[in-house]
Every structure is written in structure tokens, then in C-alpha cells.
Homo-oligomer: A and B are copies of this chain.
């Protein structure tokens, strides 16, 4: 674990206060990516047919609602609220959905409206340079023949799905929008496994360090891992509910066949939550190891001090005795006193002390 790693990489602070008091349905982007350009791509496909378009003007997209093809409109950037509003009008999306799409601190959730389904997920990015775990929001609006996805930044998590579409994978090109939705959710859930693996590696590395030589950095790293796991749990826990809702969705958007696949993702989400819980247990266990390692270290230090003091303090007293200036001090005159009386007794005392320490297992 590199020491340069920032101590507070995770900022789950809620910036939603900026919105407090506004009328519902007011679109306001609350994140920090205000300057990036917004890129809108449209994937249209059905069996052999496939078209990838970069949308510059999002005024006339209503046609997609009645298109015989499956349309996947993916929007990279949610800070241009006018754009979101325009797309919303084209697909007659409820104002509250639009508000949630731009309000980038949503808890993952599922909502079914009359004409479409809306759900939010969160993805995690582990920035290798700053060593920070950031997280952003992905919104899905799912109709019977279209999907809209909204990411805060260009969402690379979908690259694999895009490739499969481009390469003409049988299954995905011949299925309906529900299967594409599944594929996208699956891509997001798979990305969690990568983050978890990274955290797992961190845990293993820390474990070694803590046992051998606990440092101040270890406790900070433990705390950071704990925070990251708290954040991940908070963001992934509601996923189970979302998938459960999708599995019991009644609008008929999801076919029975796709349900089987969704059930698989559902299992994965439970596995992820299980793993997060296990990791949390392990991190807490490591904290106990850390604290007892500190205690052991202190014990070690104290023993050294006590051994040195216990041996030399009585000897120093002895030397002090023979350094006294009494006029009537018979021992001083004896010839054998210095070599035998003093050194002999001193060595005997040292030997006796060492024997005691040995027996007490202090050495």
C-alpha cells in the first residue's frame, strides 16, 4: 500500500442542501463536472440492423418511441439541465424523474411510472493516480422499445456492451430492450467485483503489515477501508431491492426469459453484499489485531525499561554506598572488598536478576 495515498479519498458528504426549499421538479445539477461537454449517442438496432449516431440536436427524438428498432440513447453528462429537460419532453418523462437524474446524490432506487420504468444505480471509480474511490450516479429510463442512460462522466462501464452491439452478438441484437437493460445492469454489477477485488487486495496487504509491525499509517488505512466499505454498502444495499422490484415488475417490459438472467444478476448482487459484510468483519477483526499489537509493543518497551532499571538501579545504589565519605567506614579499607565484595556481589545480583527474568519469560 503506497503511503502517498490520500487519507480522505471518500467524500460521502451530502451536497443536496443546495436544493433545499426548491419546488419539486426543479432541475438542478448538484455535482462538480460543470464544464465537460455532453455527448449523446444513439444506438439503434434490431437483428441485422445496427446504427450508431452521435446526436447533436436533441429536439426531435419522439420518433424513437414508435421506431421498430430498439433505441439506446446514452447521455454522458447531466450538468446541462436544459438538455435533460428536452430529452424528457421527447420521451414524456415525469418531472420527478428528470429532477432525480440531475440531482446526482440519489440513493439507488426503482420507480415504475405508467409508461416507463426508472431506476438509479451508482458506479465506483478507483482513481489510480489520486488513489481515491469516487462514485457517480447512472440513471436508467426503460420503455418497451428504448432505454435512456444518463452518466455524470463518460461511462466507460458500458464499453463492453457497446462492443457486443457493434460486433453483432446474436443474443443481444435479437432481443428486446429488456435484455439490453439486463446487459447494462450486469455490466454495472460486474464493475463492483473489480472494486471489491482491489479492496480485498488492500486488506491482505494491510493484514501482513499489522501483524509484523503496526504503524500509524495502518490505522489510517484501516479507517479508509472501513469508510469505503460503508460507502459501498450504502450504495449497493438498495440494489437488491431494485432487482427484486424488476423481477416482480408487472408492466410486462421484462420477458420471462430475461427474468432468468435478471435472477442471475440478483444473485450476484447478494454475493457482493455478502462480500462487503465479510470484508467489514475482517477490517474490524484487523482493528483488534492492531490494538493488541500496539499493546504487545508497549509491553516489549516496558520490559526493556524494567530489565535495565531493575538491574542497574540497585547496583548504582551499591556504588553510591561505597562512594560515601564517612570517616568511620571500615569496608573501604579492606583490600578484597573492591574486587570480591563489590564486583562479586554485583555480578551475583545481575545473574540472579537475569535468572528471574528468564523464569518470568521476559527475555
Q: Which residues of A contact B (CB under 8 A)?
A: 7-8, 11-17, 19-25, 94, 96, 100, 105-107, 109, 111, 113, 159-160, 164, 169, 171-172, 182-183, 186-187, 190-191, 193-194, 196-197, 200-201, 204, 207-208, 211, 213, 216, 219-220, 223, 226-227, 230-231, 234, 260-261, 263-264, 267, 270-271, 274-275, 277-278, 281-282, 285-299, 301-306, 308-310, 312-317, 319-329, 332-335, 337-338, 342, 361-362
Question: Which one of B281, B306, B312 contacts A230 once the chains associate, using CB atoms below 8 Å?
Answer: B281
Is chain A's interface secondary structure helix, strand, loop, or mixed overall?
helix
Closest residue of chain B to A110 (Cβ to Cβ) is: B267
Interchain nearest-CB distance for A158 vs B (Å)? 10
Closest residue of chain B to A12 (Cβ to Cβ) is: B278
Chain B hits for A313, CB < 8 A: 308-309, 312-313, 316
Report how far A167 CA is from B293 CA in the complex, Å.
56
Chain B hits for A194, CB < 8 A: 17, 20
- 22 example contacts (A-B, Cβ-Cβ < 8 A) are as follows A13-B201, A14-B196, A17-B190, A107-B271, A216-B296, A219-B288, A230-B281, A234-B275, A290-B292, A294-B295, A298-B299, A299-B301, A301-B303, A302-B305, A304-B306, A308-B314, A313-B316, A315-B317, A315-B320, A319-B320, A320-B320, A322-B324
